[in-house]
A = this chain, B = another copy of it.
Amino acid sequence: MDAMDWALLAELQADARLSYSELSRRVHLSAPAVAERVRRLEESGVITGYHARVDPSRAGRKVSALIRMSCYGVRCVLRDRQALAWPEIVEVHRVTGDTCCLLRVAATSMTAFEELIDRLAPYGQPSSMMMLSSPLPWRALAPADE
């Protein structure tokens, strides 16, 4: 994890489809060397994958929200594989605090969202935060120096 690795990570976080030869030009290294470094970053688990990002609203999911779940005892969304398979749910994170887990959901419409809330309610009170704009939708991870 030297400066060269971080330069490659910066490029690939910004555009995962860059070719090795283009990467090699940007970081001033030969293409095979770049390929070798990227392979190592993948194998060591630093890079977990490459993903196209899709705009939910342009893909027919007009309503996005974050839902905090405060589940009662063992009955938790986290452990219900069937609930985790619901396609509206796009992320599930276990968190600390007065809520056991946090869901990120993308529903087709407000009525579809309401119907999802009804399905979630049996697991514990869902507390919804509707997502409005995102001043910072994402940021690339940079070297954690100081």
Contacts and interface: CB of A to CB of B under 8 A. Distances in A.
A141 interface: yes
Interface in A3-43: 9, 12-17
30 contacts: A1-B60, A13-B51, A13-B52, A16-B50, A16-B52, A44-B58, A45-B58, A47-B53, A47-B54, A47-B55, A48-B53, A48-B54, A50-B50, A50-B53, A51-B140, A59-B141, A61-B141, A66-B93, A87-B142, A89-B139, A90-B138, A90-B139, A91-B136, A93-B133, A94-B131, A94-B133, A96-B132, A97-B129, A97-B130, A99-B129
Contact of A16 (B17, B87, B106, B130): B17
